Each structure stands twice: as structure tokens, then as C-alpha cells.
Structure 1
Amino acid sequence: MGSLLPHTWEAVPFQQLPRLGRGRRSGLPWHVPAGAAGLAAQRRRASGRPPAVAMATAADGLRKGIAEFYDESSGVWEDVWGEHMHHGFYEAGAEASAAGHRAAQVRMVESSLHFAGVPDDPAKRPKSIVDVGCGIGGSSRYLARKYGAKCQGITLSPVQAERARALAAAEGLAERVSFQVADALEQPFPDGQFDLVWSMESGEHMPDKRKFVSELARVAAPGSTIIIVTWCHRDLLPSEKSLRPDEVNLLERICDAYYLPAWCSAADYVKTAESLSLQDIKTADWSANVAPFWPAVIRSALTWQGFTSLLRSGWKTIRGALVMPLMIEGYNKGVIKFAIITCRKPGRVEN
């Protein structure tokens, strides 16, 4: 992951460290002091590859792994949980019911829009939207219907893009919603194209968070809103330079199953947004509001439908299911945080 605090810290992409299956990784914290960054460089030199080549190879491997993971698992998710491939939003302390989880996922979308202050006024509402990490297009179609807008979704998964197009056509939205395979760090859009930039639970997959936020800002029109909802680790205390070793170990095990690079904190996102001169930056910790989600996912996996879908899917999906209890453990220990970060690109909105 690229540096979130460019003058102080460098985060080491997890692919450049030894796999857990061959022994625990080096024990480096997620945020490594810049002076220690030479250790990663030494490893790359020892591999016989120049640093730039090693990092490019790691990034290519991550993209391939993410694409294959979602190619394999998206059908299972849709069978059991529907078109929205993200957490649900619940009242703190509520229990997730089998009947209510899809409503909770829609509530997550609406809560995010409300938190960001996206206007419902027909004269001010967004007309052009990008959904970065769109899955099978649940948010894209919802936002297009809600605002009467055009929405373009991007994903690394060809299977997701194809399914998203089919669902849009079935719902009569093919003229307003489109999908393509593209990298969120190299988006195929001109500068300033969208007046709402939406990223629902894709930021955790990005190996370079600064580049990720920079691309979101680049494609945003002046005055437009950027919404990032993502998994983070807890903010570090002033006395801390890294997470504790037990916390790092927990997150590493989750990374292996879900094709994630090193995690960052919500505070890191805020600093990145500030460094890019984005305005009206807000953040909130919604961990308590998503607490019922993972227990509900586990229960759904234990149903006959969930179990048979998993068996049909393949090892990547099964491995992801096996580490779901670690997500609950991470939330319970306070090391995993479910964060929303919203901001605005400087300038005036043109209506």
C-alpha cells in the first residue's frame, strides 16, 4: 500500500512479505517508519527484482487475485444475500434477521447519502455518478433510479461486470447504467466527469490508498461529493507507531482470504484527503451499526442454500467463509472499524 502519510510512513504491500502458509510474516506493523522501509527494499533486491518491478508484480498479483475471488464468489453472495454486496446498517444493538438483511443493505446506501448531505432536490441532485468497485451493480442501479441519473460502474471482475449488465437490462436501466472492467487506481474516465463519486466497500482492496483517493478526486467534478465506505483498522494512539503484534496477526489472516493489502485507519484517509485539498471532510465510525452483519452472514452460510452454494463455488469462496469469524473477532476487539469518509472537491457545482 502506498504511503498515506507521505513524509512519515510507508506501508508495505502484503504480497511482498512471506505467505502465512510458509510461516508468519515478518512481524512488521501495518504502518512502518520510513527508516524501516529499507527492509522491504532489501527483500526486493534479494529477490533479484528492481523495486519498481517487484511492486508492479505485487500489484498485478493483487488485481488478479481480487478479480478471481469475485468471479468465483459473487454468484454465491447473490444467491443468498442479493444484489448489494456490502454490509447492512442496523440500529446499534439490533439483531439481524433473515428477513431484514436486504433492507439493512439499502439502509446502508441511504445512511451514506444522508451523512454526505447528497441533496434530494431535483434541481441539485447528482446527474452523473461513478460506482468504484461496483460489484454486480446493486448501488449503481439504486442510485440511478433514486436520482434519475446516469451511473457508470467499474470492477476488476469480468463475471461481476457481465452480471451487472444483465441485471440492468432486466430492470430496464441499460440506457442509464453501464459497467466495465477497470482498475480503480487507473480509471478510464476524463477529469471532472462525475458529480457523485461513490465507493462502497472497495477501498480496503486498494494497495495505494493515496492513489485511490487521488483518482476519486480526479474524476469528480468541481463541487461534487465523494463518498468512501470502507474497512479500516483502529486509529493509532498518539503514543503508538503501529498496531500491536496480535492485531497485525489477526488482520494478516483476514488479508490472505479476502485479497487485501495492508489496512489503514480512517485518520489516514482524512490526512490523505486534506493533503489533496479536498473540503468538508467528515468521518464516522459505524462499527456498532454493522455489528449484526457478520453473524447473520455466518448463519446464512449454515443454511442448506448457503452450504450448497459454497460447495459449488470453489476454494477461494470457501476459504473466505472460513475466516468470517475473524471479522467478528476483529470488531469485538476494536481493531477493525467500519468507517465512512466523505468530502467535497473544491469548486462550484454546475446544475
Structure 2
Amino acid sequence: MEGEKMDTEGKVETEKMNKAIAMAYDVQSKILEDITGDHLHTGFYDSSSVIPGSDVNSAQTRMIEAALRFASVSEDPSKKPRNILDVGCGIGGSTRYLASKYGAQAKGITLSPVEAERARVLTAAQGLESQQVSFEVADALNQPFADGSFDLIWCIECENHISDKTKFVHELNRVAAPGATIILLTWCHRDLSPLENDLHPDEKKLLTQTGSRSRVKWISTADYINLFQSCSFQEIKYADWSPHVAPYYAELRKITLSWKGIMSYVRHAGWRQMSIKFLMMPSVFDTFKNGLLKYCILTCQKPQ
């Protein structure tokens, strides 16, 4: 009985958390679409990118292309992905981009019904037929797909909101087809040294303060790699891309504090919800400067 009670309480808490995340993105996705377009994720800059006043939407597209290159996703017509899953798809920017690039079928999942509906509208407007690109409201921990459904799984800045990382990675393993490539782009806290068992108390406090509003759960790249290894994934690679995303947040901060950005915030969130902390971009996007957080790409393949 005690175990059943704990399971029930856990399910209720998960449902509450998922609802809160969905409600937050109902509003946040509308603001971000106004100021950056249909890609709601971070942009990528390198030494050849024009940084001052640069187009953040172009940087977001560069992020997708850079990640695909890093993961060695084949451009060969006979080997390119045919069935793609976008976990935490937002309003479907990446989903549509990947589907168009590879001529593939793509599915996106999000906790937000508002995002899913907006994704469908944008997809129809771009002429991508529903049988090629589709969206569902679904939990990343309980995906409504058969085993081995996808040969490319894309997840960008979604898994930080998922508390049970072990179940998350095992669910990715379940829906991945043999030989599938998995790409995660996410914020991670620093790796622990061999002499450490946990982060310092002041670091844990800072992370709690940073992620409290959006219910973020942080782990390290080493933790992700251990989870990948537990599923026997192969070709595991990772890199710290913090320097490549820092210019994006500088540009996004300028746009958010512009008249256009403030009016978008007011239109979708209202004057009463105005938050200077939000408009200035929360400290999560600056903490990589002291090494506590870093923006990482992690990729792997499921064995054939």
C-alpha cells in the first residue's frame, strides 16, 4: 500500500510539473516566435559568423546544421534519415527543417497543446502535408510510438525539464531503430572531479535559483554519457559549445529589450506579468562564464 501511495503521488507530481511546463511554453513560445521566428532554440556562432546585429534566425539554422555535421548524419540519399522524431518540438521549426532537408517523415512531440496547434498551422502554411510532418501532445517519458520507429532522434533544450533522466534516455533507446542517431543539445552542469561526490552547496543553490521558474533539472555531460553507455549506445561524442552560443544570448537580450520585444511580452503575458528578470535573460545563460553550466552537444548511435 505504501508503495502504491508513493507511485500515485509521483504520478500526480509529474502531471502537475508537466502542466506547469506546458503553460509556461504556451506563453513563452508566442513571445519567441515574434522575435526570432519559428525556431525557439539557441543559435550557433563561429569565427566566420557575423556577430554584431546578426540575424538570430540564421544562427538557429546554423545550430541545426552544425549539430548534424557533428553527429555525422549522412547526406547520402541511400543512407539519410527517413523517419525523424523531434522531442520537445516547440512550434515545429526543427521538425519542418529536418523533414524538408532529408525528404523524410517527421513527428514532433510537446507538452503544450498551444505549441502543437501552432506547429500544425505553420506546417500547413509551408505546404508540408500532414502525412509527412505531424505533431502530438505527449510526454517524452511515455512516447506514443512503437519500438524502433525512428532513425534520427533530435532533442534540443528539452531534456532540462525532464526530472527522470534515466527513464528519458531509456525511452529514446526504445523508440530508436537499430543504427539510429540520437542528438541532444542541452545545458549541463560541470563534471565532478574524481574527488567530488556532488556539487558545492553554493553551486547547488545557484542552480536551484536559476532553474526554479522553469522547473529545470540539471545533470553533467558525464552523467549523460553514463546513461548512454547503460543503453549500450555506440559512437558516443560530446562537445562544449558554450563559446558558440554566447553571442546568441547577447543578441537575443538586445531584441528582447527592444520595443518589439517588450510589446510582444506585454501582448502575450500582460503588463502584470512583466518581469525584468525574464527580459534581461535569466542567469542560466551567463553561468557558463564561471564554468558551472555549459551548453553541450551529445550524440550517439543505437547498435545495428
> So what's the TM-score if we normalise by structure 1?
0.81
Residue 202 of structure 2 is matched in structure 1 by 246
Alpha-carbon separation, structure 1, partners of 2:23 and 2:277: 13
Change (3 A) 1:185 1:169: same
Cα deviation for residue 323 of structure 1 reads 6.5
Match of 2:293 among 336, 342, 346: 336
Which amino acid counterpart does residue 247 of structure 1 have in structure 2? E
- Partner deviation per Cα, 1:84-107 (whole Å, 9 max, x = no partner): 111111116977444321111101
Aligned length: 299
Q: Tell whether the 8 Å contact from 2:81 to 2:102 is kept in structure 1 after alignment.
A: yes
After superposition, the CA RMSD in angstroms is 2.0
Alpha-carbon separation, structure 2, partners of 1:200 and 1:118: 16
User: Any gaps of 5 or more consecutive residues in structure 2?
Assistant: none
Which amino acid counterpart does residue 343 of structure 1 have in structure 2? C
Change (3 A) 1:319 1:185: farther
User: Any gaps of 5 or more consecutive residues in structure 1?
Assistant: 1-44
Q: Tell whether the 8 Å contact from 1:69 to 1:317 is kept in structure 2 after alignment.
A: no
Alpha-carbon separation, structure 1, partners of 2:61 and 2:141: 27
- Partner deviation per Cα, 1:281-339 (whole Å, 9 max, x = no partner): 11111111111122222111110010011112227784771572412431111111111
Cα deviation for residue 253 of structure 1 reads 1.5
1:110 matches 2:65: yes
Q: Tell whether the 8 Å contact from 2:54 to 2:251 is kept in structure 1 after alignment.
A: no
Match of 1:84 among 31, 39, 53: 39
Change (3 A) 1:183 1:55: same
Cα deviation for residue 252 of structure 1 reads 1.0
Alpha-carbon separation, structure 1, partners of 2:276 and 2:136: 27
Residue 194 of structure 1 is matched in structure 2 by 150
Which amino acid counterpart does residue 338 of structure 1 have in structure 2? Y
Residue 280 of structure 1 is matched in structure 2 by 235
Match of 1:178 among 114, 128, 134: 134
- Partner deviation per Cα, 1:6-26 (whole Å, 9 max, x = no partner): xxxxxxxxxxxxxxxxxxxxx
Match of 2:225 among 270, 283, 303: 270
Residue 321 of structure 1 is matched in structure 2 by 278
Change (3 A) 1:223 1:50: same
- Matched residues, percent identical? 48
SS of the residue 1:291 aligns to? helix
Alignment of structure 1 residues 1-351 onto 2, 5 Å: 50-91=5-46, 96-175=51-130, 176-260=132-216, 262-314=217-269, 318=275, 321-322=278-279, 324-347=281-304
Alpha-carbon separation, structure 2, partners of 1:92 and 1:143: 25
Q: Tell whether the 8 Å contact from 1:226 to 1:343 is kept in structure 2 after alignment.
A: yes
Alpha-carbon separation, structure 2, partners of 1:222 and 1:183: 23
Residue 6 of structure 1 is matched in structure 2 by none
Alpha-carbon separation, structure 1, partners of 2:192 and 2:167: 22
Alpha-carbon separation, structure 1, partners of 2:54 and 2:178: 41
SS of the residue 1:134 aligns to? coil
Change (3 A) 1:324 1:249: farther
SS of the residue 2:286 aligns to? helix
Change (3 A) 1:317 1:113: farther
Residue 13 of structure 1 is matched in structure 2 by none
SS of the residue 2:288 aligns to? helix
SS of the residue 1:180 aligns to? strand
Change (3 A) 1:50 1:191: same
Alpha-carbon separation, structure 2, partners of 1:326 and 1:69: 18
SS of the residue 1:108 aligns to? helix
Q: Tell whether the 8 Å contact from 1:131 to 1:154 is kept in structure 2 after alignment.
A: yes
Alpha-carbon separation, structure 2, partners of 1:204 and 1:174: 31
